[in-house]
A = this chain, B = another copy of it.
């Protein structure tokens, strides 16, 4: 499962864990809006409830009341490449020799195809199209004992040795919950300890509703597996290796109020905006953010450049599918509905247009045209990240190289292509100067010219 969100709760105070998990999933909704599901324990038996749709739709109409469990895990899913289907939605649930466990996964397993082929050679079949299912098979094949006898060490060793990153996992058993973060640490994973219970989440901001004091919130270490039960917390950890924190989590994926890989997301984005301004100064009247994604970076750009932020584009909350048929309108109106321009602000202005990243460039081209149509004198595109020139095999939904504008065009060609007056990015060098020694803990693979990365555990 690629970019998704996971949340788990194991209560110590007799409360029902399910509402907590659902509330946590709502807080992680930005990580996946396609399907939502939970695994929980009912009368000693593991059950799963999942459905296509947003969290509030899936659990609305009082459906939640049916689920009572002292421990539970949940998942919100963002699917890529159209395989949007209930059978691929999570958590997955396995019965083996009359015992059960369930799993929820955020990430993308690098050696999935190899493992799948390996298993298929032995006659193993796959009922889903997800890489997550591989973990289920791996655990069962390697552990020749009853599920209830599996120890934290058993599970952690098998996963760390056989499953290549990226994965942040939650595994639910009827009496415990195990959180696992891969050795590279691609995807974030946090836990919070209170007297009410134990909580695990993809992002720490999802503990907000618990009024969690920040000192009781811990980032699970890369290569660490933690077991939560009524008997307390048990940890297992493999020796440190090279880290690979996904920098795209900072650029785009995580919530601005989350603190991942030791840094506040908004702070990083703002800093990237500053770096962008330093590397790509321009004489302009206003800084216009592409809301909401470009807001943090625009604050940084504005701060560094002293050019004031302005609302050249508003962000319309009430958009959905259009009811106008394509042949009723010559031009598509999608961008105009979502980001309506404010001509009063734009007219006659030299504009710095700030966004977090460019992938294909098609939306950016429409925005630039819209601004020009609204009277902008100049539009200078400033991107608060490096050029995206490679796809990602660790869980970020980036299309094939052939579709990436920066992989196929020079800067000058891009300027022409999107009909802007200039384009500026942030260099990796600049990011290195900002992150300093931490630079080496990150994965910048999608920005790097020649990747020589080999598959590694």
Tell whether, in the assembled complex, residue A333 and residue B128 are in contact, meaning their CB atoms are under 8 Å apart.
no
Asked, given contacts A123-B140, A126-B95, A129-B95, whether A54 binds B336 with beta carbons under 8 Å apart, the answer is no
**Chain B residues positioned under 8 Å from A94 (CB to CB):** 125-127
Question: Which residue of B has the minimal Cβ distance to A133?
Answer: B127
Q: A128 to chain B: which residues have CB within 8 Å?
A: 127
A170 to B308, CA, bound (A): 41
Any B CB within 8 A of the CB of A20: yes
Closest beta carbon of chain B to A325's beta carbon, Å: 7
A416 → chain B closest CB, angstroms: 25
Q: Interface residues of A: mostly helix, strand, loop or mixed?
A: mixed
Chain B nearest CB, measured from A142 CB (Å): 8
A window 332-383: CB within 8 A of B: 333, 336-337, 340-345
Q: Are B331 and A59 in contact (CB under 8 A)?
A: no
- Residue of A61, A320, A344 contacting most chain B CB atoms (<10 Å): A344
Oligomer copy total: 4
A interface vs B, CB < 8 Å? 15, 19-20, 22-23, 26-27, 29-30, 33, 47-48, 50-51, 54-56, 59, 61-62, 64, 85-87, 92-97, 117, 120, 123-129, 133, 136-137, 140-142, 144, 205, 208-209, 211, 214, 255-257, 259, 264, 266-267, 270, 292, 295-296, 299, 302-303, 308-311, 314-325, 328-331, 333, 336-337, 340-345
Residue contacts A-B, CB under 8 angstroms, 20 given? A19-B324, A20-B324, A26-B337, A30-B317, A54-B318, A59-B323, A62-B62, A64-B323, A94-B125, A96-B120, A97-B120, A209-B333, A211-B329, A211-B333, A257-B341, A257-B343, A264-B345, A292-B315, A292-B317, A296-B311
